[in-house]
Structure 1
């Protein structure tokens, strides 16, 4: 959510900043801007809309400079207007900011009393004036930022330049991701490694409370106490090719079709070792042997992945499992069991609600924590005792696809590993589950081959305003995920229900205008699902059924059926996630919505 770039170099960096902002577009935004220090003055260009519009304005104004900052804003405080767009300027200081300052009203009143005039409705302008205030007193930009952040309550990642200090770029972070990119005779800041990859792969991930100052040839970092510290330099493994569309029309389309490889890459580490505790960083299995239950905390699509995992953990590992939305868990009086494993799931590893939920769980006495994440060295894995990294590669589309299915692989691996280390998985069962994983990428490819059959369904959904999704058992969360995908990128209102709940209320909504999507694999609950389908048909509802090849029912008037090639048993939820992704994608395509950047949404949600 929002994106930051900054650069200090011996060359003009405007093109780098704009390219970086383009690579951050996937995070979600509604305005963008850059501020450059050149010729003893700060020049700024901001625009509502896409980065391309701001880029054209910057070119028209011949913006240039060797020191600058840029930002893509997702509106929180104040509407989507140019005055609210970043960077914000206070006389001699320009600031970009991700996050939310909780005490901005208090600081605003104090600064107004000191004579500062506010031009925006944002909390960020408070930061600019506060740094300007401290800079007047000290003349030291690093010291001014250190003093300012001590007065801020909330979450922030900030980049700061000052008119009279052309050789210095200062940044700070608390609760929001920020990294430093190390170049030769140039250095960079960014909220995401993708924004610096064109210039360098050597990065430093700042830690909570860090403040750093960058010159062209040096970087100095200070912790929240003001003590100079060294942070490790990492070499990013993210490939630039993964950030390009290639032959695809949208990143979501690309990422849907990358799932066989993403799954194979994630599964590879499991096939190499079997279901070993070392996959999670528990080298001898001692920690996982102590687990008496599992508490899963996640948001959005990751919450639905956790909801699938509940069925696996309880049926395979025979351990109790609860799944909670992170933003709800962190604000209730939870009863902690220190013997429960707290599992957090986050594609980015920076989801604020999930991070705060983990901190809350740890404060209650949950000492054993596991993170499932797709981004190495991100905040949530660093705060967790155990980690499983999925190998989905960069996911740019806001609507998660390959991150979701690789999370499911990680969670299935957790369920089977818990069963093994606790003596509940025999050798034959382990081999059966490993064989199922080995065959999974091929099964997913078969599901992708259903795309030509799904496209005509999408045309039928184009004019709809509402839809219901139904599933039972372990496939109910897949129905929820399918409904979420449709909502996210088509703006069609969609809701998912456990199919047995249909007669307890939702059936009142069913008529000929309400399409009903059903996840109906050939499992133990198939006959129950068929009965629920009859309830829909009896009310005139039109059914769109994703079934298996060996499900014994056919199409009829008002009943449309697409079959996956075969039932894949325990991993069926992963395969059935593919057609609901394709249905949402092609419906969005037919409706002409912005598939990769749906309105009002962001990829990396680093605010409440």
Structure 2
């Protein structure tokens, strides 16, 4: 993933220094999405200032594509403004900030120059094409003069074909990125349209619509052009993007509807507009947002916002001057607070999010666990599913589909779903399902699990399941996400903002939500009523049990100190805790950059046992459940081969499960077996965190990894206003 951000001030005087700070701070909020290189583009000085400087370049470095001012005679076209200032730098955001201020100081650029209207764009990159380097950083340019600039999140799958075509038309490529074809294609479209239309004005939105018609893949894009000064265009397909609106007028009502294709009349009222990959970069400026939908082209011009809908699926040719449908949309209000995206007294986001789990679990369950009447009968209410429960109960099978941590969470919940529902439950990794074109039937219920709701492989699998007629259920942390909008129904896990790349609190909230899903599906079965009520009681007490296990923090830090120099770690689990083994190993792998492998304990003798010796550290999860005696046998076999054992067990079991003084134990509270994975994963999260810090790595931004995250909004809908935190609003359902 990459992070894209833009800031446009309209009739609000802002100095260049302020504009730079807004862009830099926006990128800092998005740095978890990409941190190997970064770049920004802002307007240069006016034409008159460039004329005074003459034709000599005043700023030319590897981080820029063009000097501040070229030959002033080249600006004879009254609409064509001077080339923008483009800064690109390898490394993190602070490397970019330092290089920008260094270059600005060298050329004595006036940071106090004021702009009443200005459009700036910014980008932080996670490399997919080309090594981290200034030439591969964004904004990418159309060529000499920077007529069109683009920042991009996503992947263009047909870029090689487009590149070959553009090369035949004389375009020269300087980067190794897929993104560079986009601004060059925009210039090609613009030039051809002007040749064809003569004096007829070709609008910025028509250029972008024609560009979109040629692009394949997933993307969120922001365009800036010298031909359309003080305008920005954003569009998306499959990657998250939202617009933030801050109007400088008193008593402005929130959530007003668009009028005449814009929610703001072009009345000259001052305002600031923000485009961002997610809400973290916007919430400190405004809570009024519009979540941009796939295929929408959002045009910021003259203080107004127009939305056009790109419909390529119908096979219609959308030419540069074709008419396209305008869209009316309503603003939404962010539920997020600035405090949620700050680290507070914690050193890292991952540490904060691990310790927030008692609160995130409480929020996940709020309003959903029901105790009725004097008998205190216990049940679960999932408002987003209530109209579809009968269909789910009649399903031929339930198919869970996800990637990474979300897949592991579903795996942890599979046993209780099978037990309470009596329906066969299968597991699919989204990418593998698509590779195999695995069978999905109309009688299936397909459950799509994703923290962000924007996971690319999961979205593709969702489209595949919809085409095959399955009932599609979404489980996400993001009300306005693509998965939330495209599934028939769903559950919002409501874990709160998760900024650390390695998911922690979203994982435990996902398990709890799927346990509640099992309770809801099995809610009409008398035979398992006692079991269901015991689970509800366990859910009520779960946050307190997590607080108890978090007290192991120092113990896990001490264990991490012992493992700091190790090259590998094995984690054995079984039944409910096979997923815990996978997730614990994944956390160590993700952030501590240490080889780790989660292994099904029942498969130990079928290969993994060959790795065991006195040097390899091995974690065995042996809390009390139906497989406890089998795990005791596994521990004995590992001990017989001098395995270096670390055993996670229930409180009071350390002496009975740990053979010999060389075995180290981790004692955790005992809860209902289906909820034990929530407890057992927390020490492994803490271990991964402390290992990473002690080894000197960046725990919030692990090497080569980034992720999508939350855009959480409260829709303006009276019907759902009272319980928006527990249900999808109608606009999130594909009825």
C-alpha change, 1:272 and 1:194, in structure 2 (3 Å) is farther
**1:51-74 deviations in Å (ceiling 9; x for gaps):** 011112223344766211101111
Contact 2:538 2:671 in 1 (8 A): no
Q: Give the Å deviation of 1:497.
A: 0.9
Which residue matches 1:579?
Answer: 683
Q: How does 1:173-322 map to 2 (within 5 A)?
A: 173-184=236-247, 185-215=271-301, 217-225=303-311, 226-272=324-370, 275-276=379-380, 278-283=382-387, 285-322=389-426
SS in 2 for 1:543: strand
Which residue matches 2:6?
Answer: 6
Determine the C-alpha separation between the residues in 2 that align with 1:570 and 1:99: 37
Q: Give the Å deviation of 1:519.
A: 0.9
Contact 2:43 2:119 in 1 (8 A): yes
* Deviating more after overlay: 329-338 vs 505-514: 329-338
Q: Give the Å deviation of 1:277.
A: 5.5
Superposition TM-score, scaled by structure 1 size = 0.96
Higher alpha-carbon Rg: 2
SS in 2 for 1:330: helix
Determine the C-alpha separation between the residues in 2 that align with 1:153 and 1:322: 31
Contact 2:636 2:659 in 1 (8 A): no
Q: 2:235 aligns with which of 153, 172, 182?
A: 172
Which residue matches 1:469?
Answer: 571
Determine the C-alpha separation between the residues in 2 that align with 1:306 and 1:259: 18
Q: 1:55 aligns with which of 97, 103, 109?
A: 97
Contact 2:298 2:305 in 1 (8 A): yes
Is 1:533 the equivalent of 2:635?
yes
CA RMSD of aligned residues (A): 1.8
Q: Give the Å deviation of 1:554.
A: 4.2
Determine the C-alpha separation between the residues in 2 that align with 1:88 and 1:488: 30
C-alpha change, 1:424 and 1:465, in structure 2 (3 Å) is farther
Contact 2:571 2:619 in 1 (8 A): yes
Superposition TM-score, scaled by structure 2 size = 0.80
Q: Give the Å deviation of 1:264.
A: 0.7
Contiguous gaps of at least 5 residues in structure 1: none
Q: Give the Å deviation of 1:268.
A: 1.2
SS in 2 for 1:109: helix
Is 1:415 the equivalent of 2:512?
no
* Deviating more after overlay: 450-459 vs 550-559: 550-559
SS in 2 for 1:282: coil
Which residue matches 1:543?
Answer: 645
Determine the C-alpha separation between the residues in 1 that align with 2:674 and 2:382: 23
Contact 2:623 2:670 in 1 (8 A): no
Q: 2:139 aligns with which of 87, 92, 115?
A: 87
Determine the C-alpha separation between the residues in 2 that align with 1:321 and 1:454: 35
Contact 2:39 2:122 in 1 (8 A): yes
Determine the C-alpha separation between the residues in 2 that align with 1:444 and 1:179: 35
Determine the C-alpha separation between the residues in 1 that align with 2:388 and 2:423: 20
Q: Give the Å deviation of 1:605.
A: 8.9
Determine the C-alpha separation between the residues in 1 that align with 2:429 and 2:147: 43
Q: 1:484 aligns with which of 586, 594, 614?
A: 586
* Deviating more after overlay: 564-573 vs 214-223: 564-573
**1:207-264 deviations in Å (ceiling 9; x for gaps):** 1111110135210000014211012311010111111011101100000000000001
Q: Give the Å deviation of 1:558.
A: 2.1
Q: Give the Å deviation of 1:14.
A: 2.1
Contact 2:472 2:488 in 1 (8 A): yes
| Aligned residue-pair number | 604
Determine the C-alpha separation between the residues in 1 that align with 2:672 and 2:476: 25
Q: 1:33 aligns with which of 36, 39, 46?
A: 39
Is 1:503 the equivalent of 2:605?
yes
Determine the C-alpha separation between the residues in 2 that align with 1:581 and 1:176: 28
Determine the C-alpha separation between the residues in 2 that align with 1:300 and 1:486: 13
Contact 2:222 2:233 in 1 (8 A): yes
Q: 1:373 aligns with which of 476, 482, 494?
A: 476
Determine the C-alpha separation between the residues in 2 that align with 1:172 and 1:284: 33
**1:552-594 deviations in Å (ceiling 9; x for gaps):** 3346232111111334433111110111111111111111111
Determine the C-alpha separation between the residues in 2 that align with 1:275 and 1:239: 32
Contact 1:468 1:517 in 2 (8 A): yes
Which residue matches 2:58?
Answer: none
Contact 1:537 1:558 in 2 (8 A): no
**1:461-519 deviations in Å (ceiling 9; x for gaps):** 10100111001111111001010011111111111111121111011111122100111
Determine the C-alpha separation between the residues in 2 that align with 1:426 and 1:534: 35
SS in 2 for 1:453: helix
Determine the C-alpha separation between the residues in 1 that align with 2:31 and 2:519: 38
Contact 1:521 1:567 in 2 (8 A): no
Q: Give the Å deviation of 1:86.
A: 0.3
Determine the C-alpha separation between the residues in 1 that align with 2:437 and 2:27: 41
SS in 1 for 2:436: coil
**1:77-119 deviations in Å (ceiling 9; x for gaps):** 1111110000011131111011111111111111111111111
Q: Give the Å deviation of 1:365.
A: 1.9
Q: How does 1:121-200 map to 2 (within 5 A)?
A: 121-136=176-191, 137-138=193-194, 139-184=202-247, 185-200=271-286
Q: 1:120 aligns with which of 154, 162, 175?
A: 175
Is 1:106 the equivalent of 2:148?
no
Determine the C-alpha separation between the residues in 2 that align with 1:437 and 1:52: 43
Contact 1:36 1:67 in 2 (8 A): yes
Is 1:72 the equivalent of 2:175?
no
Contact 1:278 1:284 in 2 (8 A): no
SS in 2 for 1:228: coil
Which residue matches 2:494?
Answer: 391
SS in 1 for 2:360: helix
Q: Give the Å deviation of 1:38.
A: 3.2
Determine the C-alpha separation between the residues in 2 that align with 1:567 and 1:178: 40
Q: Give the Å deviation of 1:180.
A: 1.2
Which residue matches 2:725?
Answer: none
Q: 2:22 aligns with which of 16, 29, 37?
A: 16
